[in-house]
Amino acid sequence: MKASIKALIKRGAKSSMPKRVTPMLATLTKELVEDQAYVYEIKWDGYRIMAFSQKGRIRLDSRGGKDYTARYPPVLKALKALKHDVVLDGEMVVLNDQGLPDFGKVQLYNGHTSPISYYLFDILWLDGVDLSGLPLTDRKAILKEIIGDRETLRISEVFDDGKALMQVVADKGIEGVIAKKRDSQYLPDDRSRNWLKTPIKKRQEFVIGGWAESDKSRSFKSLLFGAYNEAGEFEWIGRSGGGYKDKEMPGILKKLQQLEIKDSPFVNPVLDTKGAVTHWVKPKLVGNFEFAEWTATGRIRKPATFLGFRMDKKANQVVREVPAELKIENAPEQINQELEDKQATPTKKQQPKRIPAKNKAKKSRR
């Protein structure tokens, strides 16, 4: 191990391995925030997983705290080969034939025959030392040294030019970009301006609270969904009428019927029902949806598209995330001008590395 990395590790605090860690979260933004205080990463389209490895015993936790250890045998094997006791944060990603993240393939991952990559973007604890209080850039340097060049465990690369990365991500059809403050500590369950997420396509998890009957042959017309507000109340946000495969709809309806209740679980009225017969369900099922825009009142403009269920997330952890309009605070006018100049004519050095076209490529993004 390099002497400089050993010096960084010594700046951490000695501690026992944490039993559980609630992941640090990112604030949703409408536009990419460009500021030299941030570095930028790909927003991976997969399952957020915390990894705990100590003396050959490994546990993989979902964002909601569910034990996913048995789901990813190749990752277990790769973590055992590290020969370090660690706590890592990253995303389980399955790449398609073009080397791009495919969320549908993550959902269908069979654990054995199909390839998977664990894209790592943080290290919280290493060999008896708590690293969470170190700046992000130091944690990244330690992570890169510990992981090295491996097939299943991969580093989520960081870039200085957020706008150039955003353009590449948009061209490739990837979900979005994460901006992280260079000096940010790892704060479990924190959702602040330390980490920001800017999606290309507006995708978000919502909790299903009901369904509308179809007047045709379909199993249902649409799903009604919402999220929890700051007061812990379940609010209706929108509806989804598309994205369902005909062969899967009866199974979805069966799930809903098993959770059916008499009264609406939403604290606010459900609008625009268009006369459809509506059924209510206990808010237990989390779905991933893609949509066009937010309205000024915090609703979804036009029906959303259903992308699939998120079994790795707990319903009560799905909070309302209306994009914030963030400003670069206390940024001198000259720095803003430099950023504008970079955006207009990025140099070759500033441009992000190419996203791999094949699974065997060594580097890809989050």
Give catalytic residue positions: 43
Helix or strand run (H / E) with residue 205 = strand 202-212
Q: What is the 3-state secondary structure (H, E, C) of 23-77?
A: CCEEEEECCCCCCCCEEEEEECCCEEEEEEEECCEEEEEECCCCECHHHCHHHHH
- 343 SS3 class: helix
Could you tell me if 165 and 256 are in contact, meaning their C-beta atoms sit under 8 angstroms apart?
Answer: no
Question: What is the number of other CB atoms lying within 10 angstroms of the CB of residue 115?
Answer: 13
Residue 113 DSSP label: S
DSSP string across 124-171:
EEETTEE-TTS-HHHHHHHHHHHH-S-SSEEE---BS-HHHHHHHHHH
Could you tell me if 153 and 120 are in contact, meaning their C-beta atoms sit under 8 angstroms apart?
Answer: yes
What residues form DSSP beta bridges with 223?
211, 240
- Quote helix, strand, coil % in the chain, to nearest 5: 20, 35, 50
- 342 SS3 class: helix
For residue 219, which amino acid is it? S
Start-to-end CA distance of the chain, whole Å, equals: 26
Sheet holding 25-28, edge to edge: 25-28, 191-199, 176-181, 38-43
